[in-house]
Amino acid sequence: MAAAAVLGAPALVSGRNLNDKILMGFIGIGNRGSQLLNIFMTQPDVQVTALCDIYEPFLQRDRAQVDHRFSQSVDRIPPMGESFPKSVKRYHDFRRLLDDKQVDAVCIATPDHWHALQTIAACRAGKDVYIEKPLSITLREGRRMVQVARETNRVVTVGIHRRASPIYQKLVAEILSGKIGHISVASAARINNMMPDGFTLRKRRRRILTGTCGWVRAPGGLFSSILRRTSFGGGAIIHRRWATGVCIISMRFAGCSMKQRRLR
């Protein structure tokens, strides 16, 4: 997929004068979307022109409107309260944002299952795209996203920051050069106590969170669905695949071993 630097905003929009400001729309401005919004706002060549979210407090950037059940129990409610130099249009429907001619490019940080649809729709609407990781839920979705990006000649970059980091690029180059010898197997582990799945908070949070996402039983307590867990843990897996080139990787999630899977 065509790539642009994560913070190299002039590279993000194709076919524009480098002195022009890039008019950015943001689709999904919850926790991660707010982080990205604030990063893009620090760039002198970016102007925020549109926001889209289905949750009104996020859309209006008003933390005081967040339901107290979440603001008191979930540590990932963004601070919000940003000051925009110019008026910003606000949408509940991402399709209306994509219709906006005052948007050159979009930053998408919605739940994972929306990534493919919104990226494809954005490309077809003539927008360049920054899409937060993971790129897609399935291989078929990801391949279709790449195909449409090429067909529409759009610039699409995925927020896998370790791929863009000079430190990791140097490390990968040295590994692939044979500096540490031939590598036949790599192991990736995903074990943490991060919200909202932390072990120590599960009793306090069970009443609020049960029913909001799929839960499964696993050794050690409650975990959100394997699909959701792998959307983050999968990052470690993919980076080891990229760095080592091995075909088979052993995956372990919080002590739950999964069968080895062939990745190519």
User: Strand, coil or helix: what is 225?
Assistant: coil
- State the average pLDDT for the chain: 74
Looking at the fold, whether 210 and 247 belong to one and the same domain comes out as yes
Mean pLDDT for the stretch of residues 59-63: 92
Looking at the fold, whether 126 and 208 belong to one and the same domain comes out as no
- In a domain, residue 4? The reply is no
Mean pLDDT for the stretch of residues 144-169: 90
- In a domain, residue 104? The reply is yes
% of the chain at pLDDT higher than 70 = 62
* Sheet strand arrangement including 256-262: 186-190, 248-253, 256-262
The pLDDT, as a whole number, for residue 247 is: 42
Looking at the fold, whether 106 and 20 belong to one and the same domain comes out as yes
The pLDDT, as a whole number, for residue 64 is: 87
- In a domain, residue 165? The reply is no
- In a domain, residue 164? The reply is no
Mean pLDDT for the stretch of residues 146-160: 94
Last residue of a domain, one of 133, 159, 185: 159
Look up the domain containing 220 and give its range: 171-262
Q: What whole-number distance in Å separates Cα of residue 6 and Cα of residue 181?
A: 32
Looking at residue 66, the DSSP 8-state letter turns out to be: S
The pLDDT, as a whole number, for residue 58 is: 93
Looking at the fold, whether 69 and 120 belong to one and the same domain comes out as yes
The band of 207, judged by pLDDT with boundaries at 50, 70 and 90, is: very low
Looking at the fold, whether 61 and 35 belong to one and the same domain comes out as yes
- In a domain, residue 251? The reply is yes
The pLDDT, as a whole number, for residue 107 is: 97
Last residue of a domain, one of 159, 194, 222: 159
Looking at the fold, whether 118 and 222 belong to one and the same domain comes out as no
Question: What tokens were used for 195?
Answer: 């919200």
Last residue of a domain, one of 134, 159, 184: 159
pLDDT digits (tens, 9 = 90+) for 134-152: 999 999 999 999 999 999 9
Mean pLDDT for the stretch of residues 49-63: 94
The pLDDT, as a whole number, for residue 165 is: 82
Count of domains forming the chain = 2
- In a domain, residue 14? The reply is yes
Looking at the fold, whether 129 and 206 belong to one and the same domain comes out as no
Whether the per-residue pLDDT at 200 is higher than 70: the answer is no
**According to DSSP H, which parts of 211-253 are helical?**
226-244
Whether the per-residue pLDDT at 258 is higher than 80: the answer is no
- In a domain, residue 229? The reply is yes
Looking at the fold, whether 131 and 236 belong to one and the same domain comes out as no
Whether the per-residue pLDDT at 4 is higher than 80: the answer is no
The band of 2, judged by pLDDT with boundaries at 50, 70 and 90, is: very low
Looking at the fold, whether 65 and 17 belong to one and the same domain comes out as yes
pTM of the model: 0.67
Q: Which residues in the chain belong to E strands, given as ranges?
A: 22-27, 46-52, 89-91, 105-108, 128-132, 156-159, 186-190, 215-218, 221-224, 248-253, 256-262
pLDDT digits (tens, 9 = 90+) for 70-110: 777 666 788 898 998 888 999 999 999 999 999 999 999 99
CB atoms within 10 A of CB 17: 8
The band of 203, judged by pLDDT with boundaries at 50, 70 and 90, is: low
- Distance, CA of 148 to chain centre: 19
Whether the per-residue pLDDT at 9 is higher than 90: the answer is no
Q: What whole-number distance in Å separates Cα of residue 84 and Cα of residue 68?
A: 26
Looking at the fold, whether 91 and 206 belong to one and the same domain comes out as no
Looking at the fold, whether 40 and 131 belong to one and the same domain comes out as yes
Looking at the fold, whether 211 and 149 belong to one and the same domain comes out as no
- In a domain, residue 49? The reply is yes
Total number of residues shown for the chain: 264
% of the chain at pLDDT higher than 90 = 41
Question: What tokens were used for 73?
Answer: 């129990």
Identify the CATH number of the domain in which residue 139 sits. Answer: 3.40.50.720
